[in-house]
Amino acid sequence: MQKKNGSAILRDPAQTKSTAFSLQERADLNLRGLLPHAVTSLHGQTARVLENMRRKNNDIERYIFLTALQDRNETLFYRTLIDNIDETMPLIYTPTVGQACREFAHIFRRPRGFYITPDDRGQIRSMLDHWPKENVRVIVVTDGHRILGLGDLGANGMGISIGKLSLYIACAGIHPSQCMPVMLDVGTNNKDLREDPLYLGYPHDRLTGDAYLDLVDEFMVAARDKFPHVLIQFEDFLTPNAYGLLARYRDDCLCFNDDIQGTAAVALAGVMASTRATGKAFKNLKVMFLGAGSAATGIGDLMARAFEAEGFSKAQARERLWFVDVEGLVVAGRDDLAPHNLPYAHDHPAMGFMTALDTIKPDILIGATGAPGTFNQAVIAKIAEINDKPVVFALSNPTSRAECTAEEAYSWSDGRAIFSSGSPFKPMVLEDGSVRRPGQGNNAYVFPGIGLGAMAADITALPDALFLVAAKCLAALVSDADLAEGALYPHLTSIRTVSLAIASDVASAAYDLGLARAERPNDLTAYISKMMYDPQY
């Protein structure tokens, strides 16, 4: 890229070094007089960022501060994220991104991402030519219909696409210029949003039916025409659309749904790792889900494949998995089940959640409800009565929507619970002095590495087999020290190492399956490692 001259380079977030420009660079680029005297290192700039971020009064202010940094200096923003990922990831993504999406129109500062509305029918392909980057390799697209556990947030959902792509960059080293957030702004059924004078979205009821599908079809065709090697990640679509769109496109293009497949891989990895802590063989596990939406059944689908790999038939694999929704146990004979629930509707008497828990006696309890407090004291006490080391996943995001807190899981199980959550909880010291680190089953452990592997091998499709590979890889990276702390996932500080390992395993499997277009390098891991963006001046 040809560098701009003079003050323009200071305002270019992709090229600026701000106070880190050397004296010679200041002379060469006509920057003398435009900067303070001192030449600051990137490390020194990061220290200044952290000092200013930490003096903010609350997390949403810290989010706004970091977003402003991203707008003015990408290198410094991503360096700060990478070197302080355990502190910054909860700010740029869950749980803070939930509040950021609710308030998106009110905290809006500068346009970021690509917006498509029903008024753009027939013009999406030509509109994509307005995007300033040519080599886009990852798109995260949402329609804002089911943002985390917060519901229909319309165009405010763009915060999710932006946040996810920040994690692709920070956690897996995909270059910022190769990432594109997309908002399918098809309206909102949230009346409060439509009546908000500051709302920035398409102020109409949601598009539905064939008109909705036609718009998504046009976007998918246009995106693949403009960016032939792009990976498209569907994010936070309502369950029927999430399954419908995945089925519609997965066989013809490189795409996946993170709520279904990414969540599944992360949860499966945690379940696999838990067997080393409990001493129970994976093939003998019984798993109960509270919640039967796209996240829960996505986990079930991938877990069934894992049971099949243990030698079970498809029917036998599904018999290990039990689901409970608001109407009770998912069983055959119910006439209110969605298509994705039917494979798990067992021949069993109907019953409520607590009765099902006591009757089926699962080894693993997974919550994906979006309803806080559903794992109450009676639930945790019961799963602890059934198991010496009860394994509990409270996966709903953000933190305010978790089925229970880490403290509740530990205190109500006499400290025996092995607890994981979708959003972060702080480590706890139990009454006996032992430390428990709640494992965060964050999709960031999986989707960035999958994207990196797909890019490295130029993969043509992402079948479930590759998500199973990613889950096994992540489970193997959980150390004995992690398990001793009660955590089913590695420390976030190792996330780039995790992403590299997953990318290597996914790419290798893709080559073996005939899904890779790129020539296979002699040392795949070394090749991928060299691809990874490392923000430096």
Give the distance from CA 105 to its chain's centroid.
Answer: 22
Amino acid of residue 76: L
Which amino acid does the sequence have at 27?
Answer: A
Classify 106 as helix, strand or coil: helix
Pick the catalytic residue: 17, 78, 164, 445?
A: 164
Helix or strand run (H / E) with residue 316: helix 314-318
The Cα 379–Cα 412 span in angstroms is 9
Residue 298 tokens, joined: 């996505």
Asked whether the CA dihedral 166, 172, 177, 180 is positive or negative, the reply is negative
β pairing state of 435-436 and 428-429: antiparallel
d(CA 66, CA 91): 8
In degrees, rounded to 5, the angle at the alpha carbon of residue 131 between the alpha carbons of residues 130 and 132 is: 105
For residue 376, the Cα-to-chain-centroid distance in whole angstroms is: 26
Across the chain, how many H-helices and E-strands are there? Answer: 24, 14
* Closest listed residue to residue 434, CA positions, set 373, 473, 476, 486: 486
Which residue, among 391, 392, 400, 351, has the nearest Cα to 371 in the 3D structure? 400
Instruction: Kindly state the DSSP code that residue 331 receives in the 8-state scheme.
Output: B
Per the annotation, the verdict on 93 as an active-site residue is: yes
Report how far apart, in Å, the C-alpha atoms of 372 and of each of 103, 291, 376 are. Answer: 21, 12, 9
Burial of 374 (0-12, 13-18, 19+ CB in 10 A): buried
Q: Residues 17, 63, 78, 93: which is the catalytic one?
A: 93
Interatomic CA distance for residues 237 and 231, integer angstroms: 17
Q: What size, in residues, is the chain?
A: 537
Tell me how far apart the alpha carbons of residues 342 and 56 are, in angstroms, rounded to a whole number: 49
Tokens of 68: 């402003």
Euclidean distance between CA atoms 444 and 163, whole angstroms? 11
Please confirm, yes or no, whether 164 is among the known catalytic residues: yes
Please list the active-site residues: 93, 164
